[in-house]
């Protein structure tokens, strides 16, 4: 199994292991604990911001008091085996306090604690990778990550990866990225993906069950099965699809509406329950088109969709849209975690509407309506 979790050494009891790693010529050592202590002190004394000289004096006193015990024996040391780096950091609660200090009060202290322990499941780690990283940046610590796929070169137009990681499982890659932001994160990894019923059950329902499910997988059959399981357990489902340079968000509040129809009724329950994994590729593509909603799809995406299997191997995705989708998912997760109002529905996260003055003019709407009719006609011919 590929290494995904760093080793955390507590300075009091793991001195021999820490020294052994330090003695290795291959170990890269990053020891900025004094800087972290300085930042932590200032974050706890914000009034010093207006008195630079006093801040300097008070910080020096604080550091002098901390150095009564050797700094190398304080905090924790974290070893990242995959890049052979040993890092000296604050203890867990101090680390979390400082790493999220600049979130205040865009995220309040109480909200930060809610997000820290909110149980988030992310299935599919292309757009899901962006979501996981944004959530980790903003203080989420408890996540289940699932994807069977490996990073390929064509993925690097939209996934925050590296050519040094080509061939690496996306779950492992994402976990490493999260751990490098926060070694204390609580991650459960499903690097073989969600192919079997037992995998799905463990991912969604294993106690404690998820608080929110983020669906970013391509497998349309599993997308349905995830929703059926989430609805049964009253877990909200979020999904955001790339749409050219924009995104389309689906919010399904099964926690508040346990009888809500899948995909806002776009996919009938009777049909969903009979879906078989071996349905034809064309049928899957027709389902995807129905689920997304043609009225939201940009002109270039509609044109590209019809070329899949002809001049295009797969539908196009852009890095900007992937990042936008990840940020949108993080926003929606926070709305649910903080108990704010968020209704079920389909939402158009649309830059064109913001920056194009005539986007919602009558002429533009009529043009899009004509495009939609033409697309549906061509789609019917293609999938018949």
In tens, the pLDDT along 284-316 reads 666 776 677 788 888 898 888 888 878 888 878
Tokens matching residue 281: 């590729």
Domain annotation covers residue 132: yes
Domain annotation covers residue 177: yes
Query: DSSP letters along 164-225, please?
Result: GGTT-BHHHHHHHHHHHH-TT-EEEEETT-S-SHHHHHHHHHSSSPPSEEEE--S-HHHHHH
Indicate if 116 and 86 belong to the same structural domain: no
Per-residue pLDDT at 149: 97
Per-residue pLDDT at 308: 80
In the block, tokens 């033409």 appear at 374
Q: How far apart are CA 333 and CA 349, in angstroms?
A: 16
Q: How far apart are CA 155 and CA 166, in angstroms?
A: 9
Per-residue pLDDT at 134: 98
Tokens matching residue 368: 């899009």
- Return the closest-CA partner of residue 271 out of 205, 224, 303: 224
Question: Burial level of 269, CB count in 10 A (0-12/13-18/19+)?
Answer: middle
Question: Burial level of 103, CB count in 10 A (0-12/13-18/19+)?
Answer: middle
Last residue of a domain, one of 99, 130, 158: 99
Backbone angles phi, psi at 156, to 5 degrees: -80, 10
CA within 13 Å, CB half, 376: 10
Indicate if 115 and 240 belong to the same structural domain: yes
Indicate if 223 and 256 belong to the same structural domain: yes
Indicate if 221 and 335 belong to the same structural domain: yes
Indicate if 54 and 121 belong to the same structural domain: no
Q: For residue 267, give every residue at least 6 positions away whose Cβ sits within 8 Å of its Cβ, in sequence order, or none.
A: 224, 261, 287, 290, 291
Indicate if 132 and 92 belong to the same structural domain: no
Q: For residue 8, give every residue at least 6 positions away whose Cβ sits within 8 Å of its Cβ, in sequence order, or none.
A: 76, 77, 78, 183, 184
In the block, tokens 């150095």 appear at 67
Indicate if 234 and 185 belong to the same structural domain: yes
Per-residue pLDDT at 282: 61
Indicate if 119 and 146 belong to the same structural domain: yes
Q: How far apart are CA 75 and CA 97, in angstroms?
A: 14
- Return the closest-CA partner of residue 107 out of 321, 330, 323: 330
Q: How far apart are CA 174 and CA 375, in angstroms?
A: 36
Indicate if 40 and 189 belong to the same structural domain: no
Q: Cβ atoms within 10 A of the Cβ of 267, count? A: 19
Spatial contact of 9 and 29, defined as CB atoms under 8 Å apart: no
Indicate if 183 and 326 belong to the same structural domain: yes
Per-residue pLDDT at 316: 87
Per-residue pLDDT at 165: 96
Give the CATH number of the domain where residue 145 resides.
Answer: 3.40.50.720
CA 170 from centre of chain: 12
Domain that holds residue 62: 7-99
CA within 13 Å, CB half, 213: 32
Q: Which residues, in sequence order, are bridge partners of residue 88?
A: 31, 77
Indicate if 196 and 267 belong to the same structural domain: yes
Per-residue pLDDT at 1: 55
Per-residue pLDDT at 360: 93
Domain annotation covers residue 56: yes
Q: Cβ atoms within 10 A of the Cβ of 12, count? A: 9
Per-residue pLDDT at 291: 76
Q: For residue 9, give every residue at least 6 positions away whose Cβ sits within 8 Å of its Cβ, in sequence order, or none.
A: 17, 18, 76, 77, 78, 79
The per-residue pLDDT string of the chain (384 residues; one tens digit each, 9 = 90 and over) reads 578 999 999 877 899 999 999 999 999 999 999 999 999 999 999 999 999 999 999 999 999 999 999 999 999 999 999 999 999 999 999 999 999 999 999 999 999 999 999 999 999 999 999 999 999 999 999 999 999 999 999 999 999 999 999 999 999 999 999 999 999 999 999 999 998 889 999 999 999 999 999 999 988 889 999 999 999 999 999 999 999 999 999 999 999 999 999 999 887 665 565 565 555 566 666 677 667 778 888 889 888 888 887 888 887 899 999 999 999 999 999 999 999 999 999 999 999 999 999 999 999 999 999 998 888 888 777 766
Indicate if 216 and 341 belong to the same structural domain: yes
What is the tally of structural domains in the chain? 2
Domain annotation covers residue 237: yes
Q: How far apart are CA 353 and CA 365, in angstroms?
A: 12
Q: How far apart are CA 323 and CA 325, in angstroms?
A: 5
């Amino acid at each position: 199994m590929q290494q995904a979790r760093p080793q955390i050494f507590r300075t009091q009891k793991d001195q021999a292991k820490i020294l052994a790693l330090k003695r290795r010529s291959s170990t890269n050592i990053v020891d900025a604990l004094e800087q972290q202590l300085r930042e932590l002190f200032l974050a706890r004394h914000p009034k010093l911001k207006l008195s630079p000289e006093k801040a300097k004096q008070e910080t020096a006193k604080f550091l002098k008091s901390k150095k009564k015990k050797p700094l190398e024996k304080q905090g924790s040391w974290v070893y990242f085996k995959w890049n052979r780096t040993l890092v000296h950091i604050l203890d867990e609660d101090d680390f979390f306090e400082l790493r999220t200090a600049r979130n205040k009060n865009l995220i309040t202290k109480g909200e930060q604690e809610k997000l820290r322990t909110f149980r988030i499941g992310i299935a599919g780690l292309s757009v899901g990778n962006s979501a996981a990283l944004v959530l980790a940046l903003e203080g989420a610590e408890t996540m289940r990550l699932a994807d069977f796929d490996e990073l390929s070169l064509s993925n690097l137009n939209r996934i925050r990866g590296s050519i040094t990681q080509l061939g690496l499982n996306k779950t492992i890659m994402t976990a490493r990225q999260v751990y490098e932001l926060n070694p204390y994160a609580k991650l459960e990894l499903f690097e073989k993906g969600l192919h079997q019923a037992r995998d799905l059950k463990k991912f969604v329902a294993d106690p404690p069950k998820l608080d929110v499910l983020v669906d970013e997988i391509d497998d349309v059959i599993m997308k349905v099965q995830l929703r059926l399981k989430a609805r049964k357990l009253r877990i909200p489902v979020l999904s955001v699809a790339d749409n050219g340079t924009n995104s389309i968000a689906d919010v399904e509040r099964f926690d508040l509406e346990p009888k809500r129809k899948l995909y806002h009724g776009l996919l009938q329950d009777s049909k969903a329950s009979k879906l078989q994994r071996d349905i034809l590729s064309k049928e899957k593509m027709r389902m995807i088109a129905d689920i997304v909603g043609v009225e939201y799809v940009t002109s270039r995406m509609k044109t590209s969709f019809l070329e899949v299997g002809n001049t295009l191997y797969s539908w196009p995705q852009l890095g900007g849209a992937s990042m936008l989708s990840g940020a949108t998912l993080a926003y929606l997760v926070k709305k649910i975690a903080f108990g704010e109002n968020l209704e079920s529905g389909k939402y158009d996260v649309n830059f064109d509407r913001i920056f194009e003055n005539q986007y919602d003019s009558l002429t533009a709407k009529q043009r899009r309506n004509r495009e939609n009719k033409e697309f549906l006609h061509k789609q019917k011919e293609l999938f018949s």
